[in-house]
């Protein structure tokens, strides 16, 4: 399955939709900003115009107070100007309401602040703000001006905001389309790799998408998952091969004995006993495999609780002391009391049993087997060692594989699953285990979650 990378597919991509959302948000923000600025400018324009009109009215009233009506008329003519744009419009009325000067229609004058319409020769009716005041002797002076400067500024601001908003929105959409196209092309490469992996090419890995760190983090996580899957599949293949190899011999031997039973009835008793031993060995192998599978599947973790590892290890040593002595071995221990860990008592007991049995079976008589349990910092450390022939350095990692048996173990009883079970139990308890280089066999296990036994622990 490939990703659709056609030009129209980018319009449906998440990157383009996100850019479209941003463009919409920016457009709405631009409209809100424009409305707010216009309201602020309108208020400022009204206040500034009123202030300017009142200042002009007070100046003309001062001219009347100094020079009387002739001086006022002279100032009005000078302010009205001759040609060009006229900033102010005037109306001077006497006490009877007769026009003495000005171009504002009689009857439009209002004392105080007002909005009026004045007809200009060039532009026709124009809306203006007006201020009217009484200047003495019944005379009333009205001064008006238009909003042209502020209207022009508002128009320019509106055009600028609209142009910028549209330009940025288009830029965001174009950028979103481009990002969507790039993302789809890179996603197509990932999809092609996925198809190859599904088709069976397990060596393939997902390429980095590269658009953002979180995408690369995702591909790295998926690649780690694939690595883990391949490791699990390789383990299954190894187990399958080992089962086929290790069980073939006892099954063939069992077959031959059963055939012999049919041909030689007089030897039936010994043959039946040997056949039963072969069957028990096969069942033991399958039981060990089942136990490892259940542990690796996390079944035992539901039973984890506070466990006194000191007491359980002590019980194992009490049981296997005589066994080691009968085999000609010396089993010594140094156990620190009152140490607890989080885990399953049955599995932890099985772990130490396997390690001690492994040392008894795979070392010659006279070998010294040591078991230590101590507190190192905040870690409970168990150490099982012997002074036997040890394990070759090349086998240190392989001895924990299922059915693996070193050259020194050939011909000895066992299934090659004892240390595999130890590794499975240690992994389930998040125990760090490692082989220690040196003479003999030494395995150290570090248990997390140390606790002192304040009372009788569960298990």
The model's pLDDT over 127-158, given as tens digits with 9 standing for 90+, comes to 788 888 888 888 889 988 876 666 677 677 77
The CATH number fitting domain 302-452, selected from 1.10.287.470, 3.90.550.10, 1.10.8.60, 3.30.565.10: 3.30.565.10
Predicted confidence at residue 284, as pLDDT, reads 59
Residue 5 has pLDDT above 60, yes or no: no
Secondary structure of residue 209 in the 3-state scheme = coil
CATH-assigned architecture of domain 213-294: Orthogonal Bundle (1.10)
Decide: 309 and 451 in contact? Cβ < 8 Å. Answer: no
Chain region(s) in the chain for CATH 1.10.287: 213-294
Q: Which residue has the tokens 């009215």?
A: 57
pLDDT value of position 352: 92
Q: Label residue 453 by pLDDT band (50, 70, 90).
A: low
In angstroms, the CA 84 to CA 52 distance is: 20
144 phi and psi angles, rounded to 5 deg: -135, 155
The CATH 3.30.565.10 domain(s) of the chain lie at 302-452
Rounded-to-integer distance, Cα 336 and Cα 316, Å: 15
Which residue do the tokens 């659709």 mark? Answer: 4
Does the pLDDT at position 171 exceed 70?
yes
What's CA 7's distance to the chain center, in Å? 31
Predicted confidence (pLDDT) at residue 72 exceeds the cutoff of 70: yes
Query: Are the C-beta atoms of residues 347 and 429 closer than 8 Å to each other?
Result: yes
Angle at 342 (CA atoms; ends 337, 343), nearest 5 degrees: 105
Distances (CA, A) of 76 to 80, 103, 120, 168, 193: 6, 11, 18, 51, 88
- Is 373 or 390 the better-scoring residue by pLDDT? 373
If you search the block for the tokens 């005589």, which residue do you land on? 322
Q: What is the pLDDT of residues 198-255, one digit of tens each?
A: 776 767 777 777 666 777 787 788 888 877 777 766 666 665 555 655 666 666 666 6
pLDDT for 188 equals 75
User: Given a cut of 80, is residue 65 above it in pLDDT?
Assistant: yes
| Average pLDDT score over residue span 394-409 | 63
3-state secondary structure of 111: coil
**Distance separating alpha carbons of residues 408 and 291, to the nearest angstrom:** 26
pLDDT grade, residue 373 (50/70/90)?
very high
**Alpha helices, DSSP H, located in 297-412:** 309-326, 345-361
pLDDT for residue 115: 82
CA atoms within 13 A on the CB side of 141: 23
Report pLDDT for 220.
81
Q: What is residue 317's predicted lDDT score, i.e. its pLDDT?
A: 92
């Amino acid at each position: 399955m490939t990703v659709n990378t056609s030009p129209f597919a980018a319009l449906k991509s998440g990157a383009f939709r996100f850019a479209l959302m941003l463009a919409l948000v920016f457009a709405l923000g631009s409209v809100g900003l424009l409305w707010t600025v216009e309201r602020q400018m309108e208020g400022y324009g009204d206040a500034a115009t009123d202030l300017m009109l009142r200042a002009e009215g007070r100046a003309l009233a001062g001219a009347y107070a100094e020079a009387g009506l002739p001086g006022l008329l002279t100032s009005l003519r000078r302010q009205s100007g001759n040609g060009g744009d006229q900033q102010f419009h005037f109306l001077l009325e006497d006490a009877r309401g007769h026009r003495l000067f000005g171009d504002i229609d009689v009857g439009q004058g209002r004392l105080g602040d007002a909005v009026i319409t004045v007809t200009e020769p060039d532009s026709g009716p124009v809306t203006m703000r007006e201020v009217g005041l009484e200047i003495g002797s019944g005379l009333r002076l009205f001064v008006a001006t238009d909003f042209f400067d502020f209207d022009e500024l508002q128009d320019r601001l509106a055009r600028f905001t609209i142009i910028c908003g549209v330009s940025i929105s288009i830029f965001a959409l174009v950028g979103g389309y481009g990002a969507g196209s790039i993302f789809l092309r890179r996603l197509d490469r990932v999809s092609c790799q996925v198809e190859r992996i599904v088709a069976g090419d397990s060596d393939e890995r997902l390429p980095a998408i590269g658009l953002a760190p979180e995408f690369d983090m995702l591909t790295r996580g998926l690649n780690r998952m694939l690595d883990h899957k391949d490791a699990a599949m390789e383990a299954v293949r190894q187990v399958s091969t080992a089962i086929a190899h290790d069980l073939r011999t006892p099954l063939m031997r069992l077959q031959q004995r059963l055939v012999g039973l049919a041909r030689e009835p007089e030897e039936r008793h010994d043959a039946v006993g040997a056949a039963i031993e072969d069957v028990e060995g096969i069942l033991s192998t399958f039981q060990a495999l089942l136990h490892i599978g259940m542990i690796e599947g996390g079944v035992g973790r539901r039973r984890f609780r506070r466990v006194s590892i000191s007491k359980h290890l002590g019980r194992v040593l009490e049981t296997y002391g005589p066994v080691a002595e009968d085999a000609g071995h010396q089993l010594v221990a140094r156990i620190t009391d009152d140490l607890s860990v989080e885990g399953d008592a049955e599995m932890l007991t099985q772990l130490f049993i396997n390690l001690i049995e492994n040392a008894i079976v795979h070392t010659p008589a006279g070998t010294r087997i040591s078991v230590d349990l101590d507190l190192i910092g905040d870690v409970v450390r168990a150490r099982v060692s012997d002074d036997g022939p040890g394990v070759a350095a090349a086998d240190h990692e392989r001895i924990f594989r299922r059915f693996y048996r070193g050259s020194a173990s050939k011909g000895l009883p066992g299934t090659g699953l004892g240390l595999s079970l130890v590794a499975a139990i240690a992994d389930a308890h998040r125990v760090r285990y490692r082989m220690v280089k040196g003479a003999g066999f030494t395995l150290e296990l570090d248990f997390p979650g140390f606790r002192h036994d304040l009372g009788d622990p569960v298990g």
